[in-house]
Amino acid sequence: MDVPLSISNPPTQDQARKQADGLRFKTLSDYKVAKEIGDGSFATVYLATEKSDRKREVALKVCLKKHIIKHRKIEYVQREKQVLALLSTAENQHHAIVSLFATFQDAENLYFVLSYAQYGDLLRIMLNQENEHFILDHSKYYSAVLLSALEHIHRLGIIHRDVKPENILMKSDKRIILSDFGTAKMIDVENKKKKEENEGRRRRNSFVGTAQYVLHGEDTTPASDFWSFGVVVYQFLTGKHVFHDESEYLIFKRVEGLLYKFPDDFDSAARDLVEKLLVLEPSARLGTGEGAKSIRSHKFFDGISWETLATIPPPDVK
Ligand code: ADE
């Protein structure tokens, strides 16, 4: 018997929408599953090949329905589908964001067919580099691409809320893509301004994301992703978490007190950028108000050609 969980809308609506979005109805029999490539908390990811003429390689993310229900993850899976479907329409696609090609289900599982990232996640790649961090030029490039992805999702009213190197994947052409939208949030773009003005009665969101990368108790706005972005820029350049400690409690204490240090050889423009992003008050954080534009124009990104970011050769990292 089917487990009563569906990530589909009623069939007729879903069919119309999928056709409009170019997401075709598929089943597991349309793919040749090759090997397991990842195992998350509530999904297993496989490398698979489309059996159709294209023989395209894809990442097949399989979520066991029973497991999702038991661990109360229904909302996360639904959110991920909703956000990825929005980001995968022809007009909303972005070069640095994972694409959703199809979703389907059977009695046991929900399936997401995603762009395949051959080289895995950027944390692993970073730790493979000499001295276990990226050189300045590579850090700049990856930070610029990440910023461009964040700018794009924010424009669509999506906040990622779990920006970290583990959620940035590298494709076979060595370009990076932002993935894992399970904890993303859609904000009402229309009402955003009004809500921001309504400072007095702010509703705090429950904690999501990863301790080292998020600020506890902050409202979900683009500024939340810009905090994590600052943490990631520091990490690219040093290989270390800016707020490293032994327990989540001690990490929170460090975050609260902004207790972190820069190594002596830390690039001075990068230092200025990180200091302007790791600001506890979101309204004073770089990127608030003007949006990512103010981050783009920071001197750390001097020399970055924003117009050609999608086409310039990416770093040839091992
Ligand atoms: N692990 C999780 N998602 C993945 C993807 N899209 N490609 C490769 N590995 C993954």
Q: Whose CA is nearest to atom 6 of ligand 1?
A: 116
Atom number, ligand 1, closest to the C-alpha of residue 177: 6
pLDDT digits (tens, 9 = 90+) for 233-254: 999 999 999 999 999 999 999 9
Question: Contact, 61 vs 43, CB < 8 A?
Answer: yes
Which residues form the pocket of ligand 1, taking CB atoms under 6 Å from any ligand atom? 37-38, 45, 59, 98, 114-117, 120, 169, 179
pLDDT at 42 over 70: yes
The question of whether 265 is a catalytic residue gets the answer no
pLDDT at 212: 80
Determine whether 221 is exposed, middle or buried from the number of CB atoms within 10 Å of its CB (0-12, 13-18, 19+): buried
The predicted model scores a pTM of 0.89
Question: Contact, 98 vs 177, CB < 8 A?
Answer: yes
Residue 240 marked in a binding site: no
Ligand 1 centroid from CA 38, angstroms: 7
Our mutation pick for probing the ligand 1 site, out of 170, 179, 181, counting the most ligand atoms within 8 A of Cβ, is: 179
Ligand 1 centroid from CA 185, angstroms: 21
Atom number, ligand 1, closest to the C-alpha of residue 118: 8
Structure tokens at 280: 């506890």
**Radius of gyration for the chain, computed over Cα atoms and rounded to the nearest angstrom:** 20
pLDDT at 199: 47
- Tell me what percent of the residues of the chain surpass a pLDDT of 90: 78
pLDDT at 316 over 50: yes
